[in-house]
C-alpha cells in the first residue's frame, strides 16, 4: 500500500525531522549500502528495497569567507561518509525544533536497487525563497524509486544568504550575489551529472522540477545559459519566471538591507559579512515586512548568470530540445488570503505587479465572472497574477522555441477543512508524491487521483507523455489551442481554458 500523509504531517514534518538532522561524518561503521563516487564513498540505508542516501554534500559549506560567495567545489574525502541522516536546514525564521545552519548545501537520494541506468528526478523545494526544506516527509522519494526513478531532493541557501545583492554593502567583489541560490542549484545539478551514475542514475536523463518557489527556480533555470546541459526536462508546479529583479532594483534591496541591519544592530553594514548567521534572520524578517514590494529577496538579471529576463532567454531557444510539464491550481491564492478575503488585495498580496496595475485588471473581473462571489473573484485574480499568467508565459516561450510542452490545471478540491471546495496552493504536492491526505471526506477519490498524477509524472520523467490509467490522452500544448489537462476526480482536456480572462492580462503582465 502507498502510505498517505495528513496535512498536519506535511506542516509539522520539518519539526519532527529536526531530531534526525545532522551533517554526515566520516569513518563510522554502519550497516547499509556503500556507493563509491568520484569524490569518495557514502554509506546509506536500505529501506524496503530502496537505497537511501541522506545529507550528501554537493559543495563546500558556504560559511566564513564563503558567505555571500558562489558555491565552491567539494574536496574528495577518504574513508566512508555517513549518509544516513538528513543535513541541517538552510537558515530561516522559526522552527525551534529544526537544526538550521549556513552549512546547508546537501542533497538526498532515493535509488532503486540494481545498476540502472534510471532516469533522474531532481526536486527543488518551495518556501518563498526564504523557507522550506529538502527533507519534508512528503518529499520522501520511495514511490519514485519503486517506479524505476532515482529521486533527488536538493537544498539551497535561502533569504539574505542566497537572494540578496550585497554588492552595495560589501563592494564589487560580491556583484551578482542575489543569484547565489541559483548557483547552488547549478552546483547540485553539476554534482548530479558527475556522480549520479554511481547510484544507478542516468546523467543524460535528468528532470528538474519543483513547486511554488521551487517551480519558479526551475523556470528561471530554464533561462540560464550556464545551466544548459545539466538537465533535459522540467516540471513546474505553480511557478513562473517573473520573480527576478532588474539590477538597479536588486541593488536598492541590498542597500536597504544594509541600512536595516545598521539600524537594528548599531553596527556598520559591512559586519553582515561576519556576524553570526542567526542574528541576520530577525532583521531579515522585519526588513521583508517593511519593504514596500512583496518578496524583496529574489534573483537578479545581473548580465552574467542571468543575461536577460528568463522568459526572454527561453523564447530565444534556451529550452529548445527539452520537454516541459507545467501547470497551476485553480484556487492557488486561497491558501494565503483565505476562503473569504476580508478586503480587496493589497500590494503585499501581489507577486509581480504594482497594486495600480493589478487593480486595473481586477476591476474587470466582476463583468467577466458575474456568477462568482466577490471572494472567489479576488482569489481568481490573485491566482492569475501570481501563478497562472506567469506559467502561461513560460509555456508559450518554451513551445515557440521548440520545447515539447504539456499543460495542466488542478481543479480537484478537498471537501474538508478551512479551504473546503478550493484547489488551493500546494494541494498538488501530496498528489504528485503519491501521499494523499487521510482524514478527509473524499479520501478515496483523492487517493485515486494521487495515483494517477504520480503515475503521469513518472511517465513524463521516463521520457514519455504524461499518462496514467484512467486519464484521457494528454495532448501537447501550443499557443493557439492551449490544450490543458484539467485534473480532477474525472479529468478531462479543455482547449483554450479561461480565454477571456487571459485576454484581460494581455500586455499587463
Q: Could you report the per-residue pLDDT of 349-365, keeping only the tens digit for each?
A: 999 999 999 999 999 99
pLDDT of residue 350: 94
Mean pLDDT of 67-79: 97
Has residue 379 been placed in a domain?
Answer: yes
Q: For residues 142-153, give the mean pLDDT.
A: 98
pLDDT band at residue 4 using 50, 70 and 90 as cut-offs: very low
DSSP letter for 314, please. Answer: I
Cα distance between residue 141 and residue 341, in whole Å: 36
Q: What is the pLDDT of residue 352?
A: 94
Q: Among residues 89, 177, 212, 459, which one is catalytic?
A: 212
3, pLDDT greater than 70: no
Give a yes or no: residue 477 inside a domain.
no
Q: Can you give the pLDDT at residue 30?
A: 52
| Arithmetic mean of pLDDT over the chain | 93
Inter-CA distances, 479 with 289, 388, 411, 466, 496, Å: 38, 14, 21, 19, 9
Mean pLDDT of 280-307: 96
Indicate whether 416 belongs to any domain. Answer: yes
* Over residues 439-463, mean pLDDT: 91
Residues contacting residue 197 through CB under 8 Å, at least 6 positions apart: 116, 117, 203
Which of 332, 385, 414, 501 is the catalytic position?
332
Check: CB of residue 3 under 8 Å from CB of residue 447.
no
Give the model's pLDDT for residue 442: 75
Please write the tens of the pLDDT for every residue from 314-353. 999 999 999 999 999 999 999 999 999 988 999 999 999 9
- 50-57 vs 106-112, strand pairing mode: antiparallel
Asked, for residue 478, whether it belongs to a domain, the answer is no
Number of separate domains in the chain:
1
- Identify which of 320, 138, 116 has the alpha carbon closest to the alpha carbon of residue 212: 138
In this structure, is residue 374 part of a structural domain?
yes
Q: Could you give the 3-state DSSP secondary structure of residue 244? A: strand
Segments forming the whole domain that contains residue 394 = 7-470+484-504
Selection from 236, 122, 127 nearest residue 190 by Cα: 122
Q: Is 332 tagged catalytic?
A: yes
pTM of the model: 0.94
Whether omega for the bond prior to residue 360 falls within 30 degrees of 0, making it cis, is: no
Q: How many CB atoms sit inside 10 A of residue 366's CB?
A: 11
Q: What is the pLDDT of residue 14?
A: 39
Confidence of residue 414 (pLDDT cuts 50, 70, 90): confident
Instruction: Convert the pLDDT of each residue in 12-27 to its tens digit.
Output: 333 334 334 444 444 4
Share of the chain above pLDDT 90, in %: 89
pLDDT of residue 31: 75
Q: Is residue 1 part of a domain?
A: no
User: Which pLDDT belongs to residue 439?
Assistant: 61
State the pLDDT at residue 9. Answer: 31
**Residue 332: what are its φ and ψ, rounded to 5°?**
-45, -55
Give residue 180's pLDDT.
98
How many CB atoms are located within 10 Å of the residue 202 CB? 15
Mean pLDDT, residues 440-460 taken together: 92
Active-site option among 100, 133, 425, 454: 425
So what's the pLDDT on residue 417? 86
- The CATH number linked to 425 is 3.40.50.1820
Residue 2 lies in a domain: no
Instruction: Based on the residue annotation, tell me whether 262 is a catalytic residue of this protein.
Output: no
Task: Kindly report, residue by residue over 157-216, the tens digit of the pLDDT.
Answer: 999 999 999 999 999 999 999 999 999 999 999 999 999 999 999 999 999 999 999 999
Q: Is residue 476 part of a domain?
A: no
Amino acid at each position: 500500500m502507498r502510505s498517505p500523509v495528513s496535512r498536519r504531517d506535511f506542516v509539522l514534518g520539518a519539526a519532527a525531522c529536526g531530531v534526525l538532522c545532522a551533517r554526515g561524518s566520516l569513518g563510522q561503521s554502519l550497516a547499509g549500502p556503500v556507493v563509491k563516487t568520484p569524490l569518495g564513498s557514502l554509506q546509506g540505508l536500505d529501506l524496503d528495497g530502496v537505497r537511501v542516501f541522506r545529507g550528501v554534500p554537493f559543495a563546500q559549506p558556504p560559511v566564513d569567507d564563503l558567505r555571500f560567495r558562489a558555491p565552491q567545489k567539494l574536496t574528495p574525502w577518504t574513508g566512508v561518509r555517513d549518509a544516513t541522516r538528513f543535513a541541517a536546514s538552510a537558515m530561516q525564521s522559526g522552527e525551534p525544533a529544526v537544526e538550521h545552519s549556513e552549512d546547508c548545501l546537501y542533497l538526498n537520494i532515493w535509488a532503486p536497487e540494481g545498476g540502472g541506468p534510471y532516469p533522474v528526478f531532481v526536486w527543488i523545494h518551495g518556501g518563498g525563497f526564504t523557507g522550506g526544506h529538502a527533507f519534508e516527509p512528503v518529499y520522501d522519494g520511495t514511490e519514485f524509486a519503486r517506479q524505476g526513478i532515482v529521486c533527488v531532493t536538493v537544498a539551497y541557501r535561502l533569504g539574505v544568504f542566497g537572494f540578496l545583492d550585497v554588492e552595495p554593502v560589501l563592494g564589487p567583489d560580491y556583484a551578482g550575489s542575489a543569484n547565489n541560490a541559483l548557483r547552488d542549484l547549478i552546483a547540485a545539478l553539476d554534482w548530479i551529472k558527475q556522480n549520479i551514475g554511481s547510484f544507478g542514475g542516468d546523467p543524460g536523463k535528468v528532470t528538474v522540477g519543483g513547486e511554488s518557489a521551487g517551480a519558479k527556480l526551475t523556470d528561471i533555470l530554464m533561462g540560464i545559459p550556464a545551466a544548459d546541459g545539466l538537465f533535459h526536462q522540467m516540471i513546474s508546479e505553480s511557478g513562473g519566471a517573473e520573480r527576478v529583479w532588474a539590477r538597479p532594483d536588486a541593488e536598492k534591496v541590498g542597500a536597504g538591507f544594509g541600512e536595516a541591519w545598521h539600524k537594528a544592530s548599531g553596527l556598520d553594514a559591512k559586519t553582515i559579512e561576519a556576524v553570526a548567521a542567526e542574528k541576520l534572520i530577525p532583521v531579515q524578517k522585519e526588513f521583508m515586512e517593511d519593504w514596500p514590494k512583496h518578496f524583496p529577496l529574489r534573483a537578479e538579471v545581473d548580465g552574467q548568470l542571468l543575461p536577460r529576463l528568463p522568459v526572454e532567454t527561453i523564447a530565444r531557444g534556451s529550452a529548445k530540445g527539452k520537454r516541459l510539464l507545467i501547470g497551476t491550481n485553480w484556487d492557488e491564492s486561497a491558501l494565503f488570503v483565505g476562503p473569504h478575503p476580508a478586503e480587496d488585495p493589497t500590494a503585499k498580496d501581489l507577486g509581480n505587479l504594482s497594486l495600480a496595475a493589478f487593480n486595473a485588471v481586477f476591476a474587470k473581473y466582476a463583468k467577466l465572472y458575474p456568477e462568482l462571489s466577490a471572494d472567489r473573484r479576488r482569489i481568481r485574480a490573485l491566482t492569475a497574477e501570481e501563478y497562472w499568467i506567469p506559467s502561461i508565459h513560460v509555456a508559450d516561450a518554451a513551445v515557440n522555441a521548440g520545447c515539447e510542452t504539456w499543460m495542466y490545471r488542478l481543479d480537484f478540491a478537498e471537501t474538508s477543512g478551512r479551504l473546503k471546495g478550493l484547489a488551493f496552493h500546494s494541494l498538488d504536492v501530496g498528489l504528485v508524491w503519491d501521499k494523499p491526505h487521510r482524514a478527509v471526506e473524499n479520501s478515496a477519490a483523492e487517493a485515486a487521483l494521487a495515483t494517477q498524477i504520480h503515475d503521469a509524472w513518472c511517465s513524463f520523467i521516463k521520457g514519455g507523455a504524461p499518462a496514467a490509467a484512467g486519464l484521457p490522452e494528454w495532448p501537447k500544448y501550443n499557443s493557439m489551442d492551449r490544450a490543458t489537462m484539467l485534473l480532477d476526480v474525472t479529468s478531462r482536456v479543455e482547449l483554450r481554458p479561461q480565454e477571456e480572462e487571459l485576454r484581460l492580462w494581455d500586455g499587463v503582465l
